Structure 1
Amino acid sequence: MTNQNPNGILVTTITNKVATLEFGHPASNSFPSDLLDRLTNELNSLSHNPEVLVIVLKSSGSGAFCAGASFDELKAILNLEEATKFFSGFANVLNAMRRCSKIIIGRIHGKAVGGGVGIAAACDYALATSGSNIKLSELAIGIGPFVIEPAIIRKIGKSALTEMTLETEWKSASWANKKGLYAKVFETTAELDIETSAFANKLAHYNPEALTQMKKMFWEGTDNWNTLLYERAEVSGKLLLSDFSKTALGQFKK
């Protein structure tokens, strides 16, 4: 299935029980709210699709994997309701990923920033290239990675998250691999694709019920995300409306 509009693309293909879910946006695969909503809906649909056992989540092109939130949309937000709703879009995606009954493999082909790091962290298993560096730059624009923090800390721990958040500088794919965000790192995209396909097809031949139960086990102890992530969305929304953030966003865009 292909879902296209000016706010980005979403394409799903299903082959031999493996669903490849690809998102894309001209602005470095960043996420406007509409694309976040469509990704959430598609993840929920695939979770209940009996023809799917494994999901490969990827993004379009050869540049960034995901630049996080849409800067254009962030700059256009005028009130707390709009701001909270926008950040709740990321909360919806993360909750859809953790509640999804299928194992999600992240195919990370390039750099990930902010919400893109959160999405990579919410994958059950992530494979990446050596160029898939990561960065949490939210403090530079007056906010913080509040919504995505639970997903990231679950993978790399509080110490590494603190380092990323306060330094706001790029961390290498090798660093991300050592910290547990990426399971494996490959030199080329071709190698990444070969391994991703092989791994997904191997999982698709396992006992479906065993995979479902393993998925539940992986995410034990995260039921509080049903409320926590939306509380964090409001925190982010309030900060976004501050004079500091409005000024920083304008300067950052330039």
Structure 2
Amino acid sequence: MTMTTLKIDRRGEAARCVAWVWMAKPAVHNAFDETLIAELTATLLALDADPTVRVIVLAGEGKSFSAGADLTWMQRQGAASVDENLADARRLAELFRTLSTLAKPTIARVHGAALGGGMGLAAACDICVASDRAVFATSEVKFGIIPSAISPYVIRAIGERQAYRYFQTAERISAARAREIGLVHEVTDSEGGLDPQIEAIVEALLAGGPNAQAAATDLIRAVANKPVTDDVVDDTARRIATLRATPEAREGLSAFLDKRQAAWMVSAPAPNPTTGH
């Protein structure tokens, strides 16, 4: 696939490959348009299906992670027919859903501005690491619109109460404040500290079983914000019982008892029929 808005940097050997996906539109602060949306969606799906990729890092070239939607693109959509406008909005919403439901662990590497859709990308990733100079905002109301496509992921990250404030005020949120409200996991002292911090998290991720990690994220989606009913209890019991019987689980327990590295640390992971990955 020939891409005009992204660059892919694969780091590490096949069993421990980390795909760094760089939004490469620095002149416009990696603002979204229909091309970036299509290319990023297709790239994320392809990397998630690639058995040699263990972790996906999303980053932005230039001064910003992403300044959100390209306003000229938004103007074009505002002037389009209702059907065209809706189809375009659905493609944007599908990008965020795709990112938020990947089986592979995802990390947002945030520096500079992460505004509107850029904040949505950070929230949709499993893990977010930001430099101390990063700034976030749901700035849509300043342009007479709302953070609709990103709302499920931002609200999941910061909670309903904080969303009432920031969706309406469009205030800039510092990296430190973003960590306080749950959007960011780690804040580095400088942009130079971003990659070492991400690499430390990547090493922790690579130590885990890939199928177990996919099952863990699926577990979170299944139980989050639900009452602990009999159905939920039964579902959690079935999940661990099923996973314990897999080759990956048997290998992980054997490796621990034998005081050696698990097979996924030294060889490419095999697909697990119980998870589909």
Superposition TM-score tier, normalisation by shorter sequence: 0.7 to 0.9
Q: Which residue in 1 is equivalent to 2:72?
A: 72
* 1:124-203 pair list within 5 angstroms: 124-203=126-205
Q: CA deviation at 1:83?
A: 1.9
Residues 90 and 109 of structure 1: is their aligned pair in 2 closer, same or farther, counting only changes over 3 Å?
same
Q: CA deviation at 1:84?
A: 1.8
Q: In structure 1, what is the Cα distance between the partners aligned to 2:82 and 2:137? A: 26
Alignment of 1:207-222 (within 5 A): 207-220=209-222
Q: Distance in 1 between matches of 2:182 and 2:220?
A: 14
- Counterpart amino acid of 2:51? P
Q: Please, what TM-score do these two structures have when normalized by structure 1?
A: 0.81
From 103, 106, 130, give the equivalent of 2:105: 103
In percent, how many aligned pairs have the same letter? 28
Q: Deviations 1:2-38 (Å, cap 9, x if unpaired)?
A: 8432xx2342424232111111212111011111111
What residue identity is the alignment partner of 2:3?
Q
Offset from partner CA, 1:181-218 (integer Å, 9 cap, x none): 00010121111110101211221121112111112123
> Helix, strand or coil: the match of 1:220?
helix
**Partner Cα distance (2:112, 2:41) in 1:** 22
Aligned residues: 218
CA contact (8 A) 1:17 1:53 kept: yes
| Aligned equivalent of 1:33 | 34
Q: CA deviation at 1:102?
A: 0.3
Q: How far is 1:220 from its partner?
A: 2.6
Q: Indicate the structure (1 or 2) with the bigger Cα radius of gyration.
A: 2
Deviation per residue, 1:210-234 (Å, 9 max, x gap): 1111121233369xxxxxxxxxxxx
Letter in 2 for 1:39: L
Cα separation, 1, equivalents of 2:176 and 2:164: 18
Q: Are residue 119 (structure 1) and residue 116 (structure 2) matched?
A: no
Q: 1:10 to 1:81 in 2, by over 3 A?
A: farther
1:247 corresponds to:
none
* Residue 253 (structure 2) aligns with: none
**1:94 equivalent in structure 2:** 96
Q: Which residue of 1 aligns with 2:8?
A: 11
Separation in structure 2 between the aligned mates of residue 187 and residue 124 of structure 1, nearest angstrom: 21
**Distance apart, 1:90 and its partner CA:** 2.3
> 2: CA distance between counterparts of 1:131 and 1:122?
21
CA RMSD of aligned residues (A): 1.7
Structure 1: distance between partners of 2:100 and 2:143: 28
Distance 2:56 2:189 in 1: 23
Shift, 1:131, TM fit? 1.2
Kept in 2, the 8 Å contact 1:10–1:38? The answer is: no
The amino acid across from 1:51 in the alignment is T
Q: TM-score, normalised by structure 2?
A: 0.74
Give the SS at the match of 2:119.
Answer: helix
Asked whether the equivalents of residues 18 and 204 of structure 1 are also in contact (C-alpha less than 8 Å), the reply is no
Unaligned runs of 5+ in 1: 223-254
Can you list the C-alpha shifts for 1:81-120, whole angstroms capped at 9, x where unaligned? 2322232232111111122110101111121111111110
Any conservation in 1 of the 2:129–2:185 contact (CA below 8 Å)?
yes
Give deviations 1:168-188, integer Å, cap 9, x for gaps.
121111111001100010121
Question: Quick one: higher RCO (CA 8 Å, sep 6+), 1 or 2?
Answer: 1
Aligned partner of 1:60 in structure 2 is 61
Q: What SS does the aligned partner of 2:148 have? A: coil
For 1:21, the equivalent position in structure 2 comes to: 21
